């Protein structure tokens, strides 16, 4: 590969062949929509399939065609489109309470098939293949957090509070179990489910936005408080698709990838250890791949067992402040 001034030239050639995948998926989904329409399926389902097809074809296709430096903006737009659609469908389709408490009710009471399906696909089985792609591309909370001013948490306040999300997860389960077993209260479906869902949405948005502004870290809620990340962290450990890099490559140690990673993952540490990025905090946002000035990172397909969390706990700004002048 060509090098200039000791650095490799950035990829600047767009390969049209990459468009085959999103457009292929788009037409595949549209065929399913046409079949569903011919079978007189629910109109909402047909509209949903058409939109999802368009989203994958046009959205992902445009993302691939963008210059690498602009792809982060493209991802945020795609996330708004995807998260916004899913939120509207979740709110107006009467499928129940999609908060984690809705899952617990559905699980305990054997009700709410859509809730169970949503969590099974997006939060448990999906991460076995694509890791926490939900968090990087589709979450209706993350899509709003992305719009706040501390996108890359470069100046974040450090906080060792990751354990709080496990506490939140357990507390939610205990609360639901008490309400269901002691009071026969069902917060999964119907009016109760909708009230619980909307209240939970508002609470998460207020707390998440407040925390982001106070901690100077858009994804503070994701790192410290979100109970939904708990099951995803378990299965994403085995994700087939992960970020990888070449151990032999001439990594410039510029730390751009670490500073720009919204989840503060110490990416070069994995690469230097000859591992893929095994952190279960990775949301597959691809920021590190797009911004690495040496193109030393890429998406890979493989299987790993185990995996340590290499997190960059000290924000770059604090490190600089600690340097002797």
CB of residue 142 to ligand SF4, shortest distance in Å: 3
Q: Is 313 exposed, middle or buried (0-12, 13-18, 19+ CB in 10 A)?
A: exposed
Question: Which member of 49, 135, 176, 179 binds ligand SF4 (CB under 6 A)?
Answer: 135
Which residue matches tokens 């629910």?
A: 42
Strands (E), the chain: 3-4, 7-8, 241-245, 297-301
Report yes or no: 52 and 88 within 8 Å, Cβ to Cβ.
no
CB of residue 17 to ligand SF4, shortest distance in Å: 23
SS3 for 138? coil
Question: Which member of 142, 193, 200, 307 binds ligand SF4 (CB under 6 A)?
Answer: 142
Q: Which is nearer to ligand SF4, 180 or 205 (CB)?
A: 205
Report yes or no: 242 and 278 within 8 Å, Cβ to Cβ.
yes
Q: Which is nearer to ligand SF4, 33 or 228 (CB)?
A: 228
Count residues contacting ligand SF4 (CB under 6 A)?
36
Give the Cα separation of 130 and 20 in Å (integer). Answer: 19
Report yes or no: 153 and 223 within 8 Å, Cβ to Cβ.
no
CB of residue 122 to ligand SF4, shortest distance in Å: 9
Q: Which is nearer to ligand SF4, 75 or 186 (CB)?
A: 75
Give the Cα separation of 72 and 224 in Å (integer). Answer: 23
Select from 38-46, 136-144, 169-177, 209-217 the region that touches ligand SF4 (CB under 6 A).
Answer: 136-144
Q: How many CB atoms lie within 10 A of CB 101?
A: 21
Torsion of CA 60, 62, 63, 65, to 10 degrees: 130
Rule CB under 6 A: is residue 90 a binding residue for ligand SF4?
A: no
How many alpha carbons fall within 13 Å on the CB side of residue 232?
29
CB of residue 68 to ligand SF4, shortest distance in Å: 12
CB of residue 11 to ligand SF4, shortest distance in Å: 13
Q: Tell me the two tokens of residue 175.
A: 């609360």
Q: Which is nearer to ligand SF4, 112 or 131 (CB)?
A: 131
Q: Which is nearer to ligand SF4, 306 or 324 (CB)?
A: 306
Residue 249 has what DSSP assignment?
S
| Binders of ligand SF4 in range 219-238 (CB under 6 A) | 221-222, 226, 228-229
| Binders of ligand SF4 in range 236-295 (CB under 6 A) | 243, 245, 251-257, 261-263, 265, 267-268, 277, 282-288, 292, 294
Q: Quick one: which H or E segment has residue 271?
A: helix 267-272
Binding-site ranges for ligand SF4 (CB under 6 A): 135, 139, 141-142, 221-222, 226, 228-229, 243, 245, 251-257, 261-263, 265, 267-268, 277, 282-288, 292, 294, 296-297
């Amino acid at each position: 590969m060509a090098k200039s001034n000791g650095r490799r030239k950035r990829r600047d050639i767009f390969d049209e062949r990459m468009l085959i995948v999103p457009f292929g998926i788009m037409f595949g989904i549209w065929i399913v929509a046409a079949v569903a329409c011919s079978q007189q399926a629910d109109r909402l389902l047909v509209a949903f399939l058409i939109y999802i097809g368009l989203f994958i074809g046009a959205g992902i296709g445009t993302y691939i065609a963008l210059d690498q430096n602009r792809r982060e903006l493209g991802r945020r737009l795609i996330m708004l489109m995807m998260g916004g659609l899913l939120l509207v469908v979740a709110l107006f389709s009467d499928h129940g309470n999609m908060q984690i408490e809705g899952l617990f009710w559905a699980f305990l009471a054997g009700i709410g098939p859509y809730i169970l399906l949503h969590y099974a696909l997006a939060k448990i089985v999906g991460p076995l293949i694509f890791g926490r792609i939900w968090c990087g591309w589709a979450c209706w909370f993350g899509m709003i957090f992305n719009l706040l001013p501390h996108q890359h948490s470069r100046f974040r306040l450090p906080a060792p509070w990751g354990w709080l999300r496990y506490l939140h997860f357990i507390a939610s389960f205990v609360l639901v179990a008490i309400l269901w077993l002691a009071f026969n209260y069902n917060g999964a479906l119907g009016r109760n489910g909708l009230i619980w869902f909307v209240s939970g949405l508002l609470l998460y948005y207020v707390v998440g936005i407040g925390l982001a502004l106070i901690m100077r870290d858009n994804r503070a809620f994701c790192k410290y408080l979100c109970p939904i990340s708990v099951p995803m962290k378990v299965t994403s450990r085995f994700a087939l698709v992960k970020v990888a890099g070449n151990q032999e490559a001439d990594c410039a140690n510029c730390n751009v990838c670490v500073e720009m990673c919204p989840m503060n993952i110490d990416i070069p540490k994995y690469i230097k250890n000859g591992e893929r990025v095994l952190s279960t905090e990775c949301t597959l946002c691809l920021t590190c791949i797009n911004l690495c000035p040496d193109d030393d990172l890429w998406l890979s397909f493989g299987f790993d067992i185990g995996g340590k969390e290499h997190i960059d706990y000290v924000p770059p700004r604090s490190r600089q402040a600690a340097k002797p002048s």
